[in-house]
């Protein structure tokens, strides 16, 4: 199993005292979007239809959620190696002097083979000071000063995205052209430019611009192939002139 498979197995997503069933559903869906399955609910509201409706294809995660009456009970029963707290208000809201990690720093500090519990909650008040104190690290999302408080499931989506951002992107055969292919294309463009009547310094600028655009354009191997064919034909025509 690769690193990301291990993370999927070893991460528990813990929702502390959720108040709205819809958020449980959205959290479950977002977990499944990134391949995680293990949801733990601490003293949750009643699971109503909305939880299942918003979960969409992640209903089984809601069905299989483990429920504990308190965070303490959960920690006693499951004893995770690494406890991550999430907060929307870095600094001000609690007394522990601790730099909240950015999601990208959290991602770097996770050990894929350790059991990790990530705490989210509560919708209204966030995690308590005592809960934050228990955590090994606290993570916070850099947001606007004017309105920093995100919906909990949107914050979760960003954190999950960061944890799994290095995973290979399923792209169904569309792959970016390699450096070699791009260079062949640049050579072909240089050939064309050498056959066009223009001052040397303008030719250099044009070659530079072509190179820059290719660099930014994330073109596919097939697109590179097509373009190269076009340039070769242009070159041949120019030679005939």
Contacting positions for a copy of itself (CB under 8 A): 26, 29-30, 32-35, 54, 56-58, 90-92, 97-105, 109, 140-151, 153-155, 157-158, 161, 164-165, 167-176, 216, 218-220, 222-223
CB 27 within 8 A of CB 13: yes
Find the shortest distance in angstroms from Cβ 213 to a copy of itself: 12
Whole-Å CA distances, 196 to 26, 193, 231, 237: 59, 5, 13, 11
Kindly tell me which of 183 and 226 has the beta carbon lying closer to a copy of itself.
226
d(CA 48, CA 54): 11
Kindly tell me which of 142 and 198 has the beta carbon lying closer to a copy of itself.
142
Kindly tell me which of 60 and 194 has the beta carbon lying closer to a copy of itself.
60
Find the shortest distance in angstroms from Cβ 84 to a copy of itself: 13
The H-assigned helical ranges of the chain are: 3-10, 21-33, 49-55, 59-63, 71-78, 103-109, 129-134, 152-163, 179-194, 200-216, 221-240
Find the shortest distance in angstroms from Cβ 95 to a copy of itself: 12
Kindly tell me which of 222 and 237 has the beta carbon lying closer to a copy of itself.
222
Find the shortest distance in angstroms from Cβ 44 to a copy of itself: 20
DSSP 126: -
How many of the other CB atoms lie within 10 Å of CB of 48?
13
């Amino acid at each position: 199993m690769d690193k990301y498979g291990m993370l999927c197995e070893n991460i528990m997503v813990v929702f502390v005292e959720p108040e709205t069933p819809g958020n449980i559903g959205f959290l479950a869906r977002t977990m499944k979007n990134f391949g995680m399955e293990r949801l733990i609910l601490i003293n949750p509201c009643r699971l109503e239809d909305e939880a299942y409706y918003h979960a969409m294809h992640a209903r089984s995660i809601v069905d299989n959620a483990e429920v504990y009456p308190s965070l303490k009970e959960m920690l006693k029963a499951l004893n995770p190696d690494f406890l991550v707290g999430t907060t929307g208000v870095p600094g001000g809201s609690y007394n522990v002097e601790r730099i909240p990690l950015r999601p990208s720093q959290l991602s770097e500090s996770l050990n894929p083979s350790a059991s990790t519990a990530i705490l989210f909650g509560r919708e209204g008040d966030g995690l308590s000071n005592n809960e934050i104190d228990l955590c090994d690290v606290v993570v916070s999302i850099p947001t606007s000063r004017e309105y920093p408080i995100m919906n909990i499931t949107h914050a979760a989506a960003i954190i999950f995205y960061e944890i799994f951002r290095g995973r290979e992107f399923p792209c169904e055969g569309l792959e970016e052209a390699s450096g070699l292919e791009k260079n062949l294309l640049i050579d072909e463009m240089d050939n064309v430019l050498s056959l066009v009547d223009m001052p040397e310094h303008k030719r250099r600028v044009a070659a530079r611009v072509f190179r820059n655009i290719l660099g930014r354009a994330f073109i596919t191997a097939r697109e590179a192939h097509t373009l190269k064919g076009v340039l070769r034909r242009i070159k041949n025509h120019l030679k005939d002139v």
